Structure 1
Amino acid sequence: MEDCLFCKIIKGEIPCDKVYEDDKVLSFKDINPEAPVHVLTVPKKHISSTNDLKAEDEELVGYIYTVMVKIAKQLGISEKGYRIISNCGEDAGQTVSHIHFHLLGGGKLD
């Protein structure tokens, strides 16, 4: 998608503080962190929101969670705990129309 912020980040058109990347996903630090550790993981395949997931995306979503567990361990937040969040729609706080998952941790979360 041409005007998608996350697609531009994936293509390297907009810089990010990369934490992890492979052929399926990109993980990077959130520019407006809401916790000491706040990493976004986005699939390289453009999917606008959770509502747009198809049966063929089941494996990809499971893969994203396994990547996020690895990142939590790598960043040292897996022992104390962390949160994984995906917002769906404007009223839920989704500000970019590309499905993404927030990894939050590094301290007590409210």
Structure 2
Amino acid sequence: MSDAETLFERIIAGEIPSEKVYEDATTYAFRDIAPQARVHVLVVPKKRYRNVAELAAADPQVLADIALAAKKVAELEGIDGSGYRVVFNTDGDAGQTVFHVHAHVLGGEQLGHFGR
């Protein structure tokens, strides 16, 4: 992993503006700037890990914290009753473009199926 700060580190630090939805001791959640659903919020750990596999190996508690933060986001956004999707993209073929692990919380409408 490069020593250069990621976009998400700069957002967490307040150097780049974001629309915060939720924050706790280990996670920060904010609206995606290119939403793929009516509700599209990113949940990132405050400590940087490249992807979900690296995070799971290094700190499973923070992975659990992300899952709990996703649930809290769904509650705050009013989609916990109708259903929501939590997605981690891992590396290029999956569409990961910022290499700081992040969960996408999507919902607020009927979502399509995965794949082609």
| Residue ranges of structure 1 left out of the alignment (5+ in a row) | none
Runs of 4 or more consecutive aligned structure 1 residues displaced over 3 Å after TM superposition:
none
TM-score between the two structures when normalised by the length of structure 2: 0.89
Aligned pairs, number: 110
Higher alpha-carbon deviation: 82-91 or 18-27: 18-27
Q: How does 1:67-78 map to 2 (within 5 A)?
A: 67-78=69-80
Tell me how far 1:33 sits from its aligned partner. 0.1
Alignment partner of 2:91 out of 89, 92, 96: 89
Secondary structure at the counterpart of residue 53 of structure 1: helix
Between the aligned partners of 2:56 and 2:70, the Cα distance in structure 1 is 21
Q: How does 1:56-75 map to 2 (within 5 A)?
A: 56-75=58-77
Q: How does 1:1-110 map to 2 (within 5 A)?
A: 1-53=3-55, 55-110=57-112
Tell me how far 1:51 sits from its aligned partner. 3.3
Q: Percent identity?
A: 46
Higher alpha-carbon deviation: 61-70 or 98-107: 61-70
Tell me how far 1:98 sits from its aligned partner. 0.2
Compared CA separation, residues 54 and 86, structure 1 to 2 (3 A): closer
